[in-house]
Amino acid sequence: EGGETNAEGYKGIFKAMAKEFGFKYVISTLRESFSATHNGWKAMIYNGEEFYESKRYDINPIIDRVGGGDSFSGGVIHGLLTMPNQGEALEFAVAASALKHTIPGDFNLVSVDEVMSLAGGNANGRVQR
């Protein structure tokens, strides 16, 4: 599939960024674009010692990408402040952002419970609302 991302290829970049700039965390979303309304969505985080790659979501159809990055960033902040490890924080952020892709407008109108339900359940990664 032409839209696939190779998370393994990002590890060297993450390590170099952490070393060069002294970042506590290096985090990036990884989007697979199959069409304007169908994307794969996951992310990766590095804390200077360990990498964690989130599960992948299949978002189809995408209703609105606007606010997807903001909801991811907000989810990361929430997760790192309230969850015991970087993996859980990243899963929360990716799920929050995946849900935002299904909502028109630039606000992520979902609850923490909805995000936790998607992050912790639905093993196939298909985002439905």
Name the token pair of 62. 């995408």
In the chain the domains, ranked by start, together with CATH numbers, are 7-120 (3.40.1190.20)
pLDDT of residue 124: 55
pLDDT of residue 5: 67
What's the whole-model pTM score? 0.89
CA-to-CA dists, residue 71 to 43, 53, 78, 95, angstroms: 13, 18, 10, 9
pLDDT of residue 1: 45
Give mean pLDDT, residues 35-47.
Answer: 96
d(CA 91, CA 41) in angstroms, rounded, equals 11
Q: pLDDT tens across 43-87, in order?
A: 999 999 999 999 999 999 999 999 999 999 999 999 999 999 999
d(CA 41, CA 97) in angstroms, rounded, equals 9
Other Cβ atoms closer than 10 A to 10: 18
Backbone angles phi, psi at 58, to 5 degrees: -105, 110
Q: Please give the single-letter amino acid code of residue 87.
A: G
| Residue 2 in this model has a pLDDT that exceeds 60 | no
